[in-house]
Amino acid sequence: MKKIILLFILFATNTLHAEEHYFVESSYDSGTLQINGMQFAARSYCNGITIGDEVVFLDGNPDGTCSNATIIDLRTSTTCEVLCHAPF
Protein backbone atom coordinates (compact mmCIF):
# COMPACT_ATOMS: atom_id res chain seq x y z
CA MET A 1 0.00 0.00 0.00
CA LYS A 2 2.83 2.40 0.85
CA LYS A 3 4.41 1.78 -2.56
CA ILE A 4 1.15 2.65 -4.32
CA ILE A 5 0.82 5.91 -2.37
CA LEU A 6 4.45 6.79 -3.08
CA LEU A 7 3.99 6.11 -6.80
CA PHE A 8 0.86 8.28 -6.84
CA ILE A 9 2.71 11.16 -5.14
CA LEU A 10 5.60 10.87 -7.61
CA PHE A 11 3.17 10.78 -10.55
CA ALA A 12 1.24 13.82 -9.27
CA THR A 13 4.47 15.76 -8.68
CA ASN A 14 5.81 14.92 -12.15
CA THR A 15 2.48 15.89 -13.73
CA LEU A 16 2.65 19.33 -12.10
CA HIS A 17 6.22 19.78 -13.28
CA ALA A 18 5.14 18.95 -16.84
CA GLU A 19 2.74 21.93 -16.81
CA GLU A 20 3.93 25.41 -17.69
CA HIS A 21 4.98 27.36 -14.60
CA TYR A 22 4.41 31.07 -13.98
CA PHE A 23 5.62 33.43 -11.29
CA VAL A 24 3.65 35.82 -9.10
CA GLU A 25 4.92 39.20 -10.30
CA SER A 26 2.94 41.41 -7.89
CA SER A 27 0.62 40.90 -4.96
CA TYR A 28 -1.70 43.59 -3.63
CA ASP A 29 -3.51 43.95 -0.29
CA SER A 30 -6.83 43.77 -2.15
CA GLY A 31 -6.09 40.13 -2.99
CA THR A 32 -5.12 40.84 -6.60
CA LEU A 33 -2.19 38.89 -8.04
CA GLN A 34 -0.26 39.69 -11.20
CA ILE A 35 0.76 36.53 -13.05
CA ASN A 36 1.96 36.43 -16.66
CA GLY A 37 1.27 40.18 -16.94
CA MET A 38 -2.42 39.63 -16.10
CA GLN A 39 -4.52 40.52 -13.05
CA PHE A 40 -6.20 37.75 -11.09
CA ALA A 41 -8.44 38.62 -8.14
CA ALA A 42 -8.66 36.08 -5.34
CA ARG A 43 -12.11 34.51 -4.94
CA SER A 44 -10.99 33.11 -1.61
CA TYR A 45 -8.06 33.83 0.66
CA CYS A 46 -4.92 32.80 -1.22
CA ASN A 47 -3.03 31.45 1.75
CA GLY A 48 0.56 32.66 1.75
CA ILE A 49 1.04 33.34 -1.99
CA THR A 50 3.75 35.97 -2.31
CA ILE A 51 5.76 37.73 -5.01
CA GLY A 52 8.17 35.33 -6.69
CA ASP A 53 6.17 32.19 -5.94
CA GLU A 54 5.95 29.70 -8.78
CA VAL A 55 2.38 28.70 -9.73
CA VAL A 56 0.68 26.32 -12.15
CA PHE A 57 -2.79 26.86 -13.59
CA LEU A 58 -4.89 23.79 -12.83
CA ASP A 59 -7.78 25.26 -14.80
CA GLY A 60 -8.47 28.58 -16.44
CA ASN A 61 -6.03 30.43 -18.63
CA PRO A 62 -2.79 32.24 -17.72
CA ASP A 63 -3.56 34.76 -20.47
CA GLY A 64 -6.62 35.94 -18.52
CA THR A 65 -9.11 34.78 -21.16
CA CYS A 66 -11.31 33.04 -18.62
CA SER A 67 -13.84 33.92 -15.97
CA ASN A 68 -12.37 31.75 -13.21
CA ALA A 69 -9.13 29.90 -12.70
CA THR A 70 -7.51 27.69 -10.09
CA ILE A 71 -3.80 27.97 -9.41
CA ILE A 72 -1.51 25.94 -7.18
CA ASP A 73 1.43 27.56 -5.43
CA LEU A 74 4.34 25.15 -5.78
CA ARG A 75 6.11 26.59 -2.73
CA THR A 76 3.22 26.03 -0.31
CA SER A 77 1.29 23.34 -2.26
CA THR A 78 -1.91 25.31 -1.70
CA THR A 79 -4.55 26.07 -4.30
CA CYS A 80 -6.30 29.36 -4.87
CA GLU A 81 -9.48 30.22 -6.79
CA VAL A 82 -9.14 33.46 -8.76
CA LEU A 83 -11.17 35.63 -11.13
CA CYS A 84 -9.54 36.57 -14.43
CA HIS A 85 -9.15 40.23 -15.44
CA ALA A 86 -7.66 42.46 -18.12
CA PRO A 87 -3.90 43.15 -18.30
CA PHE A 88 -2.29 45.94 -16.25
- Predicted confidence at residue 20, as pLDDT, reads 92
Residue 82 to residue 88: CA distance in whole angstroms = 16
Domain ranges of the chain: 20-87
pLDDT tens, residue by residue, 74-88: 999 999 999 987 554
Look at residue 81 in the predicted model and tell me its pLDDT.
93
Q: 12: part of which helix (H) or strand (E)?
A: helix 2-18
Predicted pLDDT of residue 14: 46
* pTM across the whole model: 0.72
Q: What is the pairing mode between strands 68-73 and 21-27?
A: unpaired
Q: Which residues of the chain have pLDDT under 50?
A: 5-11, 13-17, 88
